[in-house]
Amino acid sequence: MQLSMWTYPWDVQDQTVAGTLADLGGRAGLNTISLATSYHAGRFLQPRSPTQKAYFPEDGTIYFRPQAALWDGKEIQPLVAKNVAERGDMLAALVAARREEGLNVSCWTVCLHNTRLGMLHPQHVTRNAFGNANHYNLCPSSPAARDYVTTLVRDVTTAYRPDMLELESPNFMGFFHEYHHEKDGVGLNAEDDFLLSLCFCGHCVARAAAAGVDVDGARRTVRRFIAETCERAVPERQFPEFPAAGIDAFDAFPALHAYLSWRSEPVTSLIGAIRATADPATRIVLIDLKDGWLGGVDLEAVGKVCDGAILCCYDMTPEAIGAVMRAGRTAIGPDKYLGVGLRVFYPEVTGPEVLAARAKAAVSAGAGGVNFYNYGLIPAKRLDWVRAAVDAVRA
């Protein structure tokens, strides 16, 4: 069973490689580290850092040394974080320590969520039904964005040979809480947020039209719903079956329903292309949420083109986690990797028994691994909560 913790390179630097491995392998009882190797901006409270209690990473950078020959002539280029030159290549250090310490290495890789690159390449980001750019989300239909992500994964897997690579955001992203300092005075509900997140960029329009979809009809429908939302004094639900019914909540609007049916194609094919170009020895898995279809993910189709998935079940009861895992196992099949992602945040988790119950529910329902979030963001004493959960699933 794979037991891992999502970790930032700067946390390894703060705690040292030896200290990190002792924490994760010894104190927490884990057998894998999931290291961020491509990441976005943010502000992080670092409770254990001796000098950086608040940390702002560079936006849209990578945390490994790329192979220059692979990137020659590419339209979208990666930027190595200054952290690597200033404080060292932690991925290389962990891969080297893997032979001695026995802790496997997984690369936690943010794919299309990249505001820095979106600002540099606005012709390759998602756009809503009004044509407005979402600079935080490169579009999975864009050939240049697809080339960037496949090259990124090929680069890190062939150069470093990690045991696994975890794909975060190789899909369409939502409208809410994907940028910084978002302002919404309307009070968008879940369906409004979804409709605003639907992409009608030139790449999506061409790709969907080639598949025979009435893109103009779908776009007109979405524009109308968004406009009506903005005109109401207060938000109103227009689709009472959303999101439980999936895309069938929109079956009264054939063009939109057809567009939503098509929308998983660029995501599935991108993940398949990533798997095909990555080093064969590295397992490629998708990080996703319970309702991945909102971002264009067809989990059953994804299970056919990569090595599995990690489904994040933050702030869920054990019963709800079990249901997600059973559905996930049915979707991806019996032979693919299925992991669960659990946060160790307070008050979402109030003690070791809560975390243990959630982990046990996931494993009992078919999960073959657990990823805990996040090493540098929690006090050291909560590593003991992780150990309690690890002992519970191993028992």
Beta-ladder partners of 80: 62
Q: Residue 102: what pLDDT?
A: 81
Cα 103 to Cα 33: distance, rounded to the nearest angstrom: 7
Q: Measured at the alpha carbon of residue 247, what is the angle toward residues 301 and 326, in degrees to the nearest 5?
A: 50
Give the other-Cβ count within 10 Å of 307's Cβ.
18
Q: Supply the mean pLDDT for the chain.
A: 97
Cα 268 to Cα 272: distance, rounded to the nearest angstrom: 6
Q: Residue 99: what pLDDT?
A: 77
Q: Residue 179: what pLDDT?
A: 75
Q: Residue 305: what pLDDT?
A: 98
Q: Per-domain residue ranges for the chain?
A: 2-172+264-394, 181-262
Task: Going residue by residue through the chain, which has 395 residues, state the pLDDT in tens, using 9 for 90 and above.
Answer: 999 999 999 999 999 999 999 999 999 999 999 999 999 999 999 999 999 999 999 999 999 999 999 999 999 999 999 999 999 999 999 999 997 878 999 999 999 999 999 999 999 999 999 999 999 999 999 999 999 999 999 999 999 999 999 999 999 999 987 777 788 899 999 999 999 999 999 999 999 999 999 999 999 999 999 999 999 999 999 999 999 999 999 999 999 999 999 999 999 999 999 999 999 999 999 999 999 999 999 999 999 999 999 999 999 999 999 999 999 999 999 999 999 999 999 999 999 999 999 999 999 999 999 999 999 999 999 999 999 999 999 99
HSE on the CB side for 253, CA within 13 Å? Answer: 20
Q: Compute CA distances 127 → 43, 118, 136, 191, 361, whole Å.
A: 26, 11, 11, 17, 39
Q: Residue 215: what pLDDT?
A: 98
Q: Residue 100: what pLDDT?
A: 80
Instruction: Tell me the torsion sign for CA atoms 378, 283, 135, 87.
Output: positive
Q: Residue 176: what pLDDT?
A: 83
CATH architecture, range 2-172+264-394: Alpha-Beta Barrel (3.20)
Instruction: Tell me the torsion sign for CA atoms 384, 386, 389, 391.
Output: negative
Return the structure tokens found at 65.
Answer: 């040394």
The 8-class DSSP code of residue 53 comes to: S
* 196 SS3 class: helix
Q: Compute CA distances 23 → 133, 343, 395, whole Å.
A: 42, 17, 21
The H-or-E segment that residue 305 falls in is helix 299-305
pTM for this prediction: 0.97
Cα 12 to Cα 40: distance, rounded to the nearest angstrom: 18
